[in-house]
Chains A and B, each alone.
Chain A
Amino acid sequence: AQSVTQLGSHVSVSEGALVLLRCNYSSSVPPYLFWYVQYPNQGLQLLLKYTSAATLVKGINGFEAEFKKSETSFHLTKPSAHMSDAAEYFCAVSDGFMDSNYQLIWGAGTKLIIKP
């Protein structure tokens, strides 16, 4: 069975510092991987996705994630944090059947806190 683990329910970084949000998955087939963001008082928004093309995926707002099969990881990074990045971030995996990706398996989420 697929599963997703996000390390750290809360991550705090200073403005301008590197952002690293960790996501590890388990899947018996090549996965499709996603990062979603939920800004305060807003719905979930797709940040980026990995669908078996390039292993380094660039998303919106300067975020990127690297698929590492050997480590079963899909960590999200951003070189320099902005105050506007404060939000909750969710990692999700599907079994690669894009037509049914409403059956995504979700991580529990990581709240990113930006210190001035």
Chain B
Amino acid sequence: NAGVMQNPRHLVRRRGQEARLRCSPMKGHSHVYWYRQLPEEGLKFMVYLQKENIIDESGMPKERFSAEFPKEGPSILRIQQVVRGDSAAYFCASSPVQGGTEAFFGQGTRLTVV
């Protein structure tokens, strides 16, 4: 059973471009969580999704950031018009049920905005 797969592992974007980060949850997991880790800081919760639904987006910046988890395919975190401050590691986790300690994490995508 493959773990949580995130791609790309590293992404470089110029200011103003769009960044798309993908997360394929573990097989059988229908809950996905996105976190952001800024340099020298801990992970910060961004958004919690189930298939086709956003459950909690209280940690998402109000502008330029969006997330989806379609019925088919991976979850996508989309950042429009990236700025240097978006440079961070973005982690995805998945679980078969809500919360608990059953969440499994991906390797993360390191976004660098130049």
Contacts and interface: CB of A to CB of B under 8 A. Distances in A.
Contact of B40 (A45, A49, A90, A108): A108
Nearest to A108: B42
A103 B104 CA distance: 15
Contacts, number: 59
Interface in B82-104: 91, 93, 98-101, 103-104
Nearest to A42: B107
B6 to A, nearest CB: 8
- A-side interface size class: 20 to 34
A46 B101 contact: yes
Interface residues of B, number: 25
B4 A98 contact: no
Nearest to A41: B107
Nearest to B35: A106
Contacts of B64: none
Interface in A30-50: 34, 36, 38, 41-46, 49
Interface in B59-114: 91, 93, 98-101, 103-108
B3 interface: yes
A89 to B, nearest CB: 12
A101 B45 contact: no
A90 B43 contact: yes
Interface of B: 3-4, 33, 35, 37, 40-45, 48, 56, 91, 93, 98-101, 103-108
8 contacts: A4-B42, A38-B105, A44-B91, A90-B42, A102-B48, A102-B93, A102-B103, A106-B44
Interface of A: 4, 9, 34, 36, 38, 41-46, 49, 90, 92, 98-109
